[in-house]
């Protein structure tokens, strides 16, 4: 099955943010910032994917 490139990008971004915030040496110090950014991008991506799917 083909994968949605937007979903792959969003999952990759979340994983990067999670790893960076937990392994940066400042354990958890910036986790809220990165998680909030990843969540915002994820919600934007979900809306965009839904809009593209409904226009097909």
31-55 vs 5-23: helix axis angle to the nearest 10? 180
pLDDT at 27: 61
Question: pTM higher than 0.85 for the full model?
Answer: no
Measure the CA–CA gap between 30 and 2, rounded to whole angstroms. Answer: 34
pLDDT at 12: 82
Q: Tell me: pLDDT of 47 over 80.
A: yes
Question: By the 8 A CB rule, do 56 and 20 touch?
Answer: no
Q: Where are the domains of the chain?
A: 5-55
Q: Which of 7-16, 21-30, 42-51 has the lowest mean pLDDT?
A: 21-30
Measure the CA–CA gap between 38 and 16, rounded to whole angstroms. Answer: 9
Location of structure tokens 């960076």: 20
């Amino acid at each position: 099955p083909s994968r949605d490139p937007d979903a792959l990008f969003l999952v990759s971004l979340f994983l990067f943010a999670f790893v960076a915030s937990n392994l940066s040496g400042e354990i958890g110090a910036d986790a809220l910032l990165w998680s909030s950014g990843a969540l915002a991008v994820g919600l934007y991506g979900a809306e965009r994917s839904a809009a593209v799917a409904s226009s097909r």
